[in-house]
Amino acid sequence: MISENILEQAKELVKGDRQKEYGDKLINHENIAALWSVFLRKEISPHDVAMCMALVKVARLMHAHKKDNYIDLAAYAAVAAEIDERTK
């Protein structure tokens, strides 16, 4: 099934080499949130970062339906859920 394939590829993104390349998901999103907060002069949470990155993928899908944007969208949803759980 196509949906299972998308989710499997998103799973590989979330657990794969990205951790080695970019470090822990929560710490990475905390760093991005801190930088965005300074730039925007508004408090941004790590969860906000993941959701905004998902919205980037939605915006790209509004232009063209590309498979990698669906995969990334699913991955960012999973990352947002993990950040939410880890920061409770």
Note the pLDDT tens digit of each residue in 14-31. 987 777 788 999 999 999
pLDDT of residue 20: 79
0.85 exceeded by pTM: yes
Residue 67 has pLDDT above 80, yes or no: yes
Q: Is the distance from CB of 76 to CB of 52 less than 8 angstroms?
A: no
Range in 21-25, 33-37, 65-69, 71-75 the model is least confident about: 21-25
Q: Is the pLDDT of residue 41 over 80?
A: yes
